[in-house]
Amino acid sequence: MGGAVSAGEDNDELIDNLKEAQYIRTELVEQAFRAIDRADYYLEEFKENAYKDLAWKHGNIHLSAPCIYSEVMEALDLQPGLSFLNLGSGTGYLSSMVGLILGPFGVNHGVELHSDVIEYAKQKLDFFIRTSDSFDKFDFCEPSFVTGNCLEISPDCSQYDRVYCGAGVQKEHEEYMKSLLKVGGILVMPLEEKLTKITRTGPSAWETKKILAVSFAPLIQPCHSESGKSRLVQLRIIAGHATESRRLP
């Protein structure tokens, strides 16, 4: 997916193009996109493609197209202090942009299946924290990544204000995804080839909006151990405060 807008010469020009095409529509989202250089999340030998509106995949590392991330960020309607869960958190690019908006009292969790991608995300996060000068006057809700299958989150875990899934969700997993959401919360996910926004308006009431047609790799089904038991993903929210937040240097 991608190719909806012209390539940029640099990150700012890419954002200008996304704004002009109405993929980025709000100031908060624009600020987050400008604060994090997309090229920093590419391997060195592929950086010449970073400002094209195209997805990128190398081994287990994957970035969605900028137009897709723009639609996701706008649909999530992020605000300071919310809790966010990123299912298939990948490089951490999206989670870091979200963290700039959530601020010091937010919660920013990511679940990623591949341990090598978790290590890659941690390296990129460390580089961003050490080198960022864009948001030095803002508090950053630092993402916390755990390894596991996002279909195996412990039922004891708290629900979230905002949830995004970065892999294709089939109809049989829709209710599970909804169960991760607080009342009043927003879930954004590729559901049956459509990027979909679901708002939980009550304990058993939902509003659904189809945003655009997309093509995502499907969720990987859990692998059970020899004992037949799955390994549940444990996530912990500290009430009223982020797992980690810091003021960028």
- CA-wise closest residue to 108 among 150, 80, 74: 80
CA 3, 5, 7, 13 dihedral sign is: negative
Q: Are 222 and 230 in contact (CB under 8 A)?
A: yes
CA angle 147–169–52, rounded 5-degree value: 80
Q: Is 155 helix (H, G, I), strand (E, B) or coil?
A: coil
CA 162, 66, 38, 248 dihedral sign is: negative
Written as one letter, the residue type at 135 is F
**Spatial distance between the Cα atoms of 74 and 212, rounded to a whole number of angstroms:** 13
Q: Could you confirm whether 89 is annotated as catalytic?
A: no
Burial (Cβ within 10 Å: 0-12, 13-18, ≥19) of residue 28: middle
Q: Are 142 and 242 in contact (CB under 8 A)?
A: yes
**Spatial distance between the Cα atoms of 225 and 124, rounded to a whole number of angstroms:** 32
**Spatial distance between the Cα atoms of 136 and 50, rounded to a whole number of angstroms:** 24
* Sheet strands side by side (includes 181-191): 144-147, 107-112, 83-87, 160-165, 181-191, 194-202, 205-213
State the pairing for strand pair 107-112/83-87. Answer: parallel
* The token pair that represents 75 in the structure block: 């649909």
> Which is catalytic among the residues 6, 64, 96, 158?
64
Q: Which residues are catalytic?
A: 64
